[in-house]
């Protein structure tokens, strides 16, 4: 029954949001996982439940008759989840941008846990407690949304391994990145508000051709692992590479002032009931303090910060 309940939830959210991708964002899982949950129930029932149209996903006739009850049921479950949240005062459920959660939040979270060892986390469906039905306590997304409070506005800089830094040392100073291996994130070519090397070269020169050439990665963590292995150069948010820069596993090939401000900030969305729980208030207050410190460092980078500049 629990498996079917998750499948029904995936169907309800997919229909309400209009796509598997949007449903995945709300549920904190991948679009493939949403599709698997829906197909599992379709296989069990032996019939299709969703069809894709020009305006998004639509119910099949087999599902249409039950759709009102389905929406009513999950609306009731949402109210029950809200009520029971007050009994699970030590659980914090977060759905967040994966790069932000893996590269910014994860390195900081142990410090919070040291002072609050009894608070349990579920982040993007994994952690101390299993993912629950209903809306998360906290949602963190990148983008210029009307709702949500800005956490910080990132700053994009080229990054490479120490060995690749040496490779450009003897190149022509005008086009010293010409022919150098470049790595990219999928979002650099699929989202207008996610600038990549094309925009960086247009701003600072260094290369005449092939700004889009090279492999593309779905997540920054995957691309950064390749950078550490000397595969190439990546344009990345400074907030996501602070530990690597401090440890020396990654370096900046150019002065830190040669960076681009991200068009939009990371934003935090809180449920109305979230701040009624003292544990959540403590975590949100801590999160905002950490974000403020990050923003202060980023502002320093833009003003020729002393901390992260690494010369070749």
Q: Which domain holds residue 23?
A: 2-80
The verdict on residue 94 lying in a domain is yes
If asked whether residues 139 and 63 sit together in one domain, one would say: no
* Residues contacting 115, CB < 8 A, separation 6+: none
Q: Are residues 57 and 129 in the same domain?
A: no
Q: Which of 256, 257, 266 is nearest to 295 (CA)?
A: 266
| 179 & 148 share domain | no
Q: Are residues 202 and 227 in the same domain?
A: yes
Residue 100 belongs to some domain of the structure: yes
In a domain, 307, yes or no: no
- Same domain, yes or no, for 194 and 293? no
Q: Which regions in the chain score pLDDT beneath 70?
A: 1-3, 80-89, 144-146, 169-174, 273-274, 304-312
Split into its structural domains, the chain has a count of 3
Pair of tokens at residue 273: 């009931």
pLDDT for 130? 79
Residues 6+ apart with CB under 8 A from 215: 183, 184, 226, 231, 232
Is residue 305 one of the residues assigned to a domain?
no
Are residues 229 and 286 located together in one domain of the fold?
A: no
**Is residue 248 located within the same domain as residue 272?**
no
Within a domain: residue 204? yes
Among the candidates 24, 48, 80, a domain finishes at 80
Tell me the CATH number at 99: 3.40.190.10
114 and 24 assigned to the same domain? no
Residues 161 and 259 in one domain: yes
Residue 243 domain-assigned (yes or no) = yes
Q: Are both 129 and 275 inside the same structural domain? A: yes
Q: What is the 3-state secondary structure (H, E, C) of the chain?
A: CHHHHHHHHHHHHHHHHCCHHHHHHHHCCCHHHHHHHHHHHHHHHCCCCEEEECCEEEECHHHHCCHHHHHHHHHHHHHHHHHHHCCCCCEEEEEECHHHHHHHHHHHHHHHHHHCCCCEEEECCEECCCCCCCCCCEEEEECCCCCCEEEECCEEEEEECHHHHHHCCCCCCCCCCCCCCEEEECHHHHCCCCCCHHHHHHHHCCCCCCCCCCCEECCHHHHHHHHHCCCCEEEEEHHHCHHHHHHCCCECCCCCCCCEECCCCEEEEECCCHHHCHHHHHHHHHHHHHHHHHHHHHHHHHCCCCCCCCCC
Residues 146 and 192 in one domain: no
Task: Look at the pTM and tell me if it is higher than 0.75.
Answer: no
Q: Which of 80, 104, 121 is the last residue of a domain?
A: 80
Whole-number pLDDT of residue 309: 38
Q: Are residues 45 and 177 in the same domain?
A: no
Quote the pLDDT of residue 80: 67
Q: Is residue 235 part of a domain?
A: yes
In the prediction, which pLDDT does 144 show?
60
- What CATH number is associated with residue 52? 1.10.10.10
- The answer to the question of residue 239 being in a domain is yes
Confidence (pLDDT) at 83:
59
End-of-domain residue from the set 31, 65, 80: 80
pLDDT for the residue numbered 152: 96
Alpha-carbon distance of 195 to 185, in angstroms, equals 10
């Amino acid at each position: 029954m629990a498996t079917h309940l998750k499948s029904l939830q995936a169907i309800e959210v997919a229909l309400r949001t209009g796509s598997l991708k949007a449903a995945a964002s709300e549920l904190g899982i991948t679009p493939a996982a949403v599709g698997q949950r829906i197909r599992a129930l379709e296989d069990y029932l032996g019939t299709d439940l969703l069809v894709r149209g020009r305006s998004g996903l639509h119910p099949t006739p087999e599902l249409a008759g039950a759709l009102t009850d389905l929406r009513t049921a999950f609306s009731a479950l949402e109210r029950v989840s809200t009520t029971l949240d007050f009994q699970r005062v030590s659980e914090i459920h977060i759905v967040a941008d994966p790069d932000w959660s893996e590269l910014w939040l994860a390195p900081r979270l142990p410090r919070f846990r040291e002072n609050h060892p009894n608070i349990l986390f579920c982040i993007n469906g994994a952690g101390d407690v299993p993912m629950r039905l209903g809306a998360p306590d906290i949602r963190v997304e990148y983008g210029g949304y009307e709702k949500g409070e800005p956490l910080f506005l990132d700053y994009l800089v080229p990054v490479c391994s120490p060995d690749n830094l040496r490779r450009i040392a003897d190149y022509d100073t005008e086009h010293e990145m010409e022919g150098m291996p470049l790595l990219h994130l999928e979002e650099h070519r699929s989202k207008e508000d996610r600038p990549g090397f094309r925009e960086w070269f247009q701003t600072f020169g260094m290369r005449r051709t092939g700004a889009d050439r090279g492999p593309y990665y779905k997540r920054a963590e995957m691309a950064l692992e390749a950078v550490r292995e000397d595969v190439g150069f990546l344009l990345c948010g400074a907030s996501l590479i602070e530990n690597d820069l401090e440890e020396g596993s990654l370096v900046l090939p150019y002065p830190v002032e040669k960076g681009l401000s991200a068009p939009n900030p990371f934003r935090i969305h809180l449920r109305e009931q979230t701040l009624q729980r003292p544990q959540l208030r403590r975590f949100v207050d801590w999160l905002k303090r950490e974000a403020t410190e990050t923003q202060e460092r980023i502002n320093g980078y833009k003003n020729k910060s002393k901390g992260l500049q690494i010369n070749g």
